[in-house]
Amino acid sequence: MSFRPERRVEHEELVGGILESLRLRDLTIATAESLTAGMLSMLLTDVSGASSVVRGGLVVYATDLKSSLAGVSPELLAEGGAVQPEVAEQLARGARRHCAADWGVGLTGVAGPDWQDGVPPGTVHLGFAGPRGSVIRTERLSGDRGSIRCGAAFRALEHLEGLLR
């Protein structure tokens, strides 16, 4: 999965629906991204009108920044590394809190080609924190590094759309 021109309309429709859903409910969103390094924020703001609901995002690629900027527990990171479902959840909560948003989305995973902390490439954890609590989704994606990163961002959008229904 990549940002091919033929997919642009598809992602614009998906993002447009998410933004409209947030706008109609007077809700905002923020991201904390490791694996995708800002790609989800880029997709969310690629559609006109995004500024009315997108508060901002944190790119926390380095493990120490997950803790210092997004508020992920240093103990959690020390015990199991940066690629855990709970890290995605804490990233989402941190994005929500630090950006003063109603919704936070956190992404962590392994794009490859090498394993990280005993976790194989293609493992992606997505965290969503909203007004009624949080949800974690784990995905197993295949392909090269770029495909996994793009796939993670699109899966986050798809899950977010479902949560906003």
Q: How far apart are CA 98 and CA 165, in angstroms?
A: 25
- What's 39-55 look like in SS3? HHHHHHCCCCCHHHCEE
Q: Count CB-CB contacts under 10 A for residue 158.
A: 15
pLDDT surpassing 60 at residue 27: yes
Quickly state the pLDDT bin for 6 (edges 50, 70, 90): low
E strand residue ranges, 16-156: 29-33, 54-59, 103-109, 123-130, 133-140
Superfamily of domain covering 5-112+153-164:
CinA-like (3.90.950.20)
How close are the terminal C-alpha atoms of the chain, in Å? 25
**What's the average model confidence in pLDDT over 8-22?**
91
Quickly state the pLDDT bin for 3 (edges 50, 70, 90): low
How confident is the model at residue 1, as a pLDDT?
Answer: 43
Closest CA to 104 of 73, 69, 139, 131: 131
Closest CA to 136 of 98, 96, 102, 90: 90
**What's the average model confidence in pLDDT over 51-78?**
98
Percent of the chain with pLDDT over 90: 93
Give pLDDT tens digits for 71-86: 999 999 999 999 999 9
